[in-house]
């Protein structure tokens, strides 16, 4: 059970120097990434993650150089060789190595780096999923292509750090007064039995967990979903709220900016969705 | 005369692998940079570049670990050991190496990497400075902290690439209809003998060359300066326009979106400013 890296299809020490200073990831954040959760030694929802990765590459016009089959095999190999059964596989592709200039270089090869790290059962996330997360609202200062899962993450970093320093789990962002998403999660509210979340456009990432919640879980449970932007006050006046994400899974939100959400306890619809999400993981990874 | 790299104060092959995959520059674009021009084997305006770098670090709360004296010595060493007398020194500092998580890691050491590359006299820039640049206007999609010279450069990259593909030298960006700056330069217009440019705030980088133009050249030549945002139509109706930047120096703009600026020839005030900038370089580097 040790973290491992992978580059050019070869397993490596995660701490070894494998990137030259003029990799465009290192100098421009010019690349895309994905994180896939591993349960019971199996990847959960790998296909939608890789599909989204290919979309991000297309949007940035970085050529795709590995097939889904090859990427699946690399995930497999990292799991096998690390012995990690509960963890996360990180994958990123940069536009490659070239003398520094803003425009796309010609004749470079995109660079794939991957790694695996364990995610323990005893992390703070376990407690947060059980008893709920405190969050803060902050201003969304990111660029206007948040639909691309790119390496330009400073806005997310600064937001997450602010959350941490105010004793919160996550910062959820507002642009022009409307709630977009968390720094590493999507944000849902429950109002009068209806699920609300920001629609898919250039202002949010189309989360894989978000899609599962809307298309599988809510559909199956018969919970109506409204994909429409709403403001901070609307969110604060809600009965329930939760965050969704690959690592976050379904995390109930019990307070926003220090004020309780609903009764301040985890709500019943959130619990149902959490339970259903757990069942989907069981179905895909536990047998 | 060969490009060289520098890390931890040591000269290295610029192509060697010196960065682990979990450097926060590589995974988040979590760092800052500067480019300083070398003329006649001497750095031009090194102090304001390093001062700005310290400011960028402070804004991102990355600790500064090298003094100005040390950084000046590293610049010197790259020039000496490479034998490059006309070139550019690139410097970047990332938040260091840590297992991937959005919030700031604890107990990591910021990583400084530097490099030097020649800038030839026969580059396209030479011709552009003489006969002028074509530019396009594009929408400014970047984040709201463009005052930080960070490694989150995807908006700049996509804009520069678009310029290149339309046969232009630079893309100048408009936010809410107002002209901000170029993807790697500041933008000035001349109207009725007055210099206009976007004011210094969170929407533009405070260019070192921009400051020299305003505080030294315009002041000395008695040209009034108005630092106020203006729209695209206002810019297109101008007599003269130019770009300023460390590598760009002063580049006249002769067409915007395919239409000539003023007469379509390089204007007299732009030439005066170019000349004055050349004299400042002579004064600092040529003796």
Cβ distance A214 to A208 under 8 Å? no
Which of A30, A152, A162 to mutate: most B Cβ within 10 Å?
A: A152
> What pLDDT, on a 0 to 100 scale, did the predictor assign at position B69?
98
Q: What is the CA radius of gyration of chain B?
A: 19
> What pLDDT, on a 0 to 100 scale, did the predictor assign at position A242?
98
> What pLDDT, on a 0 to 100 scale, did the predictor assign at position A8?
83
Closest C-alpha among B40, B61, B58 to residue B50:
B58
Helix (H, G, I), strand (E, B) or coil at B178: strand
> What pLDDT, on a 0 to 100 scale, did the predictor assign at position A122?
72
Residue by residue, DSSP assigns A115-177 as: EEEE--TTSHHHHHHHH-EEEEEEE--S-S-TTS-BS--HHHHHHHHHHHHTT-SEEEEEETT
Q: Which residue of A has its CA nearest to B34?
A: A27
CB contact under 8 Å between A21 and B154, yes or no, is no
CB contact under 8 Å between B28 and A99, yes or no, is no
User: Is residue B27 within a helix (H) or strand (E), and if so which, with residue range?
Assistant: helix B24-28
For residue A4, the cross-strand partners are: A116
- Tokens coding B218: 């315009």
Cβ distance B138 to A13 under 8 Å? no
Give Cα A214 distance to the centre of its chain: 16
Q: Which residues of chain A are within 8 Å of residue B23 when distances are taken between CB atoms?
A: 19, 26
Can A149 be counted among the known catalytic residues? yes
Q: Which residues of chain B are within 8 Å of residue A33 when distances are taken between CB atoms?
A: 27
Q: Which of B42, B47, B134, B149 is catalytic?
A: B149
CB pairs under 8 A between A and B: 175
Q: Pick B99's closest partner by Cβ from A97, A117, A154.
A: A117
Q: Given the structure tokens 């494998």, which residue do they identify?
A: A18
CB contact under 8 Å between A156 and B102, yes or no, is yes
The average confidence (pLDDT) of chain B is 97
Q: Which residues of chain A are within 8 Å of residue B60 when distances are taken between CB atoms?
A: 154, 158
> What pLDDT, on a 0 to 100 scale, did the predictor assign at position B1?
79
Cα–Cα distances in Å, from A118 out to A20, A74, A85, A91? 27, 16, 8, 15
Q: Is the pTM of this model over 0.95?
A: yes
The residues of chain A scoring below 70 in pLDDT are none
Chain B: closest CA distance from residue A142 (Å):
4
CB contact under 8 Å between B100 and A113, yes or no, is no
Question: Tens of pLDDT along chain B (287 residues)?
Answer: 789 999 988 999 999 999 999 999 999 999 999 999 999 999 999 999 999 999 999 999 999 999 999 999 999 999 999 999 999 999 999 999 999 999 999 988 999 999 999 997 777 899 999 999 999 999 999 999 999 999 999 999 999 999 999 999 999 999 999 999 999 999 999 999 999 999 999 999 999 999 999 999 999 999 999 999 999 999 999 999 999 999 999 999 999 999 999 999 999 999 999 999 999 999 999 98
Provide CB contacts within 8 A for A246, sequence distance 6+. A35, A36, A37, A45, A49, A88, A207, A208, A209
> What pLDDT, on a 0 to 100 scale, did the predictor assign at position A124?
83
> What pLDDT, on a 0 to 100 scale, did the predictor assign at position A287?
80
Q: Which residue of A has its CA nearest to B100?
A: A90
Q: Which residues of chain B are within 8 Å of residue A15 when distances are taken between CB atoms?
A: 20, 22, 97
Q: Which residues of chain B are within 8 Å of residue A29 when distances are taken between CB atoms?
A: 28-29, 151-154
Provide CB contacts within 8 A for A116, sequence distance 6+. A3, A4, A38, A78, A79, A82, A84, A87, A88, A89, A90
Q: Which residues of chain A are within 8 Å of residue B156 when distances are taken between CB atoms?
A: 102
Q: Which of A42, A149, A160, A162 is catalytic?
A: A149
CB contact under 8 Å between A157 and B30, yes or no, is yes
> What pLDDT, on a 0 to 100 scale, did the predictor assign at position A121?
73
Phi, psi of B264 (to 5 degrees): 90, -5
CB contact under 8 Å between B104 and A141, yes or no, is no
Helix (H, G, I), strand (E, B) or coil at B119: coil
CB contact under 8 Å between B20 and A17, yes or no, is yes
């Amino acid at each position: 059970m040790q973290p491992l890296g992978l580059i050019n299809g070869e397993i490596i020490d995660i701490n070894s120097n494998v990137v030259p200073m003029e990799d465009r990831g290192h100098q421009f954040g010019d690349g895309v990434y994905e994180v896939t959760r591993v349960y019971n030694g199996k990847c959960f929802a790998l296909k939608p993650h890789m599909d989204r990765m290919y979309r991000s590459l297309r949007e940035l016009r970085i050529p795709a150089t590995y097939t889904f089959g090859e990427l699946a095999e690399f995930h497999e190999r990292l799991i096998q060789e690390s012995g990690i059964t509960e963890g996360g596989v990180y994958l990123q592709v940069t536009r490659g190595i070239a003398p520094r200039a803003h425009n796309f270089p010609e004749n470079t090869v995109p660079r794939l780096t991957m790694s695996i790290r364990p995610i323990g059962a005893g992390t703070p996330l376990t407690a947060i999923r059980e008893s709920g997360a405190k969050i803060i609202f902050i201003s969304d200062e990111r660029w206007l292509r948040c639909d691309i899962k790119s390496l330009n993450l400073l806005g997310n970093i600064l937001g997450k750090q602010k959350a941490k320093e105010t004793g919160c789990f996550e910062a959820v962002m507002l642009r022009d007064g409307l709630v977009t998403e968390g720094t590493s999660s999507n944000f849902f509210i429950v109002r009068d039995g209806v699920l609300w979340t920001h629609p898919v456009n250039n202002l949010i990432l189309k989360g894989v967990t978000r899609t599962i919640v809307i298309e599988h879980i809510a559909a199956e449970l018969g919970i109506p979903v409204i994909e429409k932007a709403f403001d901070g006050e609307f969110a604060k006046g809600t009965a329930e709220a939760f965050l969704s994400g690959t690592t976050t899974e379904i995390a109930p939100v019990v307070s926003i900016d220090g004020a309780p959400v609903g009764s301040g306890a985890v709500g019943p619809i959130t619990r149902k969705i959490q339970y259903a999400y757990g069942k989907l993981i069981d179905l895909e990874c536990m047998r």
